Structure 1
């Protein structure tokens, strides 16, 4: 397999990934992580550094000598509110927060690209390395696109990589078209009236409504694979009453995740679900309130961008996985397809690896040069390098 990095460089990158892993910051709080990125890549002499982009986002711009397209490579800054279960020497030092999705690894792959660009500038156009904030809440991409500073660096192409446990290590899954689903969180509040447990008839309990709603969600589960007509409404949390024995509940909160392949059909699915919940609440004499959260748009790979990833993987002799995408999951990258030709690639983290968002997950360091090599292969195709790219 072709590599752009020698062992000493990989050791530096691995150590930096372990540093990031120890000091995770969740969505909206990534200020120190952003400063660390800028500091670590300062000696790569980017032509422009954009900070506070859509929050704590950072974009580093490397200009080519000739006119050409703008190619953006994107990774994520944020960690998760998960307590890490690990005896790793570099485990999280922040209680209840950890890089359980591999964003520390994604940042390191991107930093490897930046360090390579220090001595191998684009021959034409410009390369942009975007460290996006708030990916986990689906607020980051929207905030970046809405930031006036993004207008000056709007890309023609956008690329992202996400590691994926359950795929063989360093195998790749990419294709044109649908890659991920759209997803949205729905929070429902049902309000009645508490009562003494000996006289429940004097109150209005949400218990029956909760049971009916949970059962009613079953009709929204259609299809098994991501294709036209597929949808899922997944119950994620139910809270009702107090942990006591003498009081019947007077309120309840239900949380669920809605998903479909098409972003523009999410409002219709939301309205269908809410219609069922409204009717149930009214019949049970309950007040209803709801909020929506974390609207991830579907990722649809542009054919030209996907082909660039495929060529880069082929040049590195990486094995493709052809039956993996599209997936039911969501990723806050889809919006970049509204302003550029975009593609998301999944890279295998190992068959026996804990799944992302699990408390015992850890990003495989072996993927650092592989992911960086894929990004550099894309830049080589679209921009070229002013000096040989190390192949």
Structure 2
């Protein structure tokens, strides 16, 4: 079976321009209104039989119906950017201070836009091809919100496929494997409360200074990373604040934010118990109240074996080199939630060995990946739907 060539060079250039426009105007999780509008315009221009908007927030779903009955195959991309200042001289760098597409979601959306162009010319012979542009992946809330939306029941996909670009892997090569591919993680927000006092009489208050120093020194020891096996765990301090920026106040309030990370959900339960126990012990010893809340909760991400087999068939047909190199990854993905409803699998598309890493301030999605990513997805759809 020969490689598909459903996009002309001028179309790839047009798609790259569209990607760069998305890149210049990023929106954060839960606020992707204008990005969603741009996606809706693309889906309608390609003649989608149905466009569902506002799915699980600002999610957008495009449905392309086949002539005969058959399975429903869904492809998923993400809408949101990151709260990071871009450092770049690119002509299309972010125009929004403190926000940027530094994970490649602009590129993932563009790959699905390319697939939509192909579907506009060749509908499935059977079943349905569904393109999901999901909100709020970066904070872990988007997939859950989409699945909880009653309108998603209209879709009920048999298979769900996704991709993520992967710096460090040679450009255009693919990593794919069955089983665990992404870690579980969650953000743990620790608030320590004591009593403020005048800076000249700190003994009259209860300061969290000693407690925050102990936590910063001890909590990382609960999980130091290492080999990514079943026992893997990692704790990363991401933010800390003590008191207010003033010289006349002995502080009575402190916050520490940490990310807990494990390979499996079951290991996360154990790490969470350890971390909570440490926080409470430190707080009590210093006469403080401790409050713990969780944000950005990601379950581990598991690839279904049958779904992976379909991806490998598409990769073979498109002559794309692949292996299981580098998997599983330490990073987290909310795509794993789809595996509770459908047979789901994600593959990782190399962005280049020396390419800046994801979430780094000078990262940019390689436009060369639009063509290869859309070819693989399109082939998977044609293999399954005809």
In the superposition, the TM-score normalised over structure 2's length comes to 0.96
**Corresponding residue to 1:333 among 326, 335, 338:** 335
1:41-60 CA-partner distances (Å, limit 9, x unpaired):
21211111111100110000
CA–CA distance in structure 2, aligned partners of residues 4 and 307 of structure 1: 23
CA–CA distance in structure 2, aligned partners of residues 48 and 247 of structure 1: 60
8 Å Cα contact 2:220-2:236 kept in structure 1: no
CA–CA distance in structure 2, aligned partners of residues 223 and 83 of structure 1: 27
CA–CA distance in structure 1, aligned partners of residues 71 and 149 of structure 2: 21
**Displacement of 1:6:** 1.6
**Counterpart in 2 of 1:173?**
175
**Counterpart in 2 of 1:273?**
275
**Counterpart in 2 of 1:164?**
166
**Corresponding residue to 2:30 among 28, 31, 41:** 28
CA–CA distance in structure 1, aligned partners of residues 263 and 151 of structure 2: 31
- Of stretches 28-37 and 197-206 in structure 1, the one that deviates more from structure 2 is 197-206
**Displacement of 1:32:** 1.2
**Corresponding residue to 2:51 among 46, 49, 53:** 49
1:84-103 matched pairs, under 5 angstroms: 84-103=86-105
- Of stretches 151-160 and 16-25 in structure 1, the one that deviates more from structure 2 is 16-25
**Counterpart in 2 of 1:81?**
83
CA–CA distance in structure 2, aligned partners of residues 312 and 288 of structure 1: 52
**Corresponding residue to 1:142 among 141, 144, 147:** 144
**Corresponding residue to 2:39 among 34, 37, 40:** 37
**Counterpart in 2 of 1:117?**
119
1:117-157 CA-partner distances (Å, limit 9, x unpaired):
00111111111000000111111000000000000101110
- Of stretches 144-153 and 193-202 in structure 1, the one that deviates more from structure 2 is 193-202
1:1-391 matched pairs, under 5 angstroms: 3-221=5-223, 224-384=226-386
- Of stretches 124-133 and 199-208 in structure 1, the one that deviates more from structure 2 is 199-208
8 Å Cα contact 1:21-1:92 kept in structure 2: yes
Change (3 A) 1:192 1:59: same
- Of stretches 35-44 and 123-132 in structure 1, the one that deviates more from structure 2 is 35-44
8 Å Cα contact 2:44-2:51 kept in structure 1: no
**Displacement of 1:83:** 1.6
CA–CA distance in structure 1, aligned partners of residues 258 and 248 of structure 2: 29
CA–CA distance in structure 2, aligned partners of residues 217 and 257 of structure 1: 11
1:71 aligns to what SS in structure 2? strand
8 Å Cα contact 1:2-1:317 kept in structure 2: no
CA–CA distance in structure 1, aligned partners of residues 292 and 231 of structure 2: 25
In the superposition, the TM-score normalised over structure 1's length comes to 0.95
CA–CA distance in structure 2, aligned partners of residues 161 and 73 of structure 1: 9
Task: Name the Cα RMSD after superposition.
Answer: 1.5
8 Å Cα contact 2:173-2:320 kept in structure 1: yes
User: Number of residues paired by the alignment?
Assistant: 384
1:36 aligns to what SS in structure 2? helix
Change (3 A) 1:218 1:25: closer
**Displacement of 1:198:** 3.8
CA–CA distance in structure 1, aligned partners of residues 277 and 52 of structure 2: 45
8 Å Cα contact 2:221-2:235 kept in structure 1: no
**Displacement of 1:326:** 0.3
**Displacement of 1:24:** 1.2
- Of stretches 218-227 and 2-11 in structure 1, the one that deviates more from structure 2 is 218-227
**Displacement of 1:29:** 0.8
Is there any run of 5+ residues in structure 2 with no aligned partner, and where? none
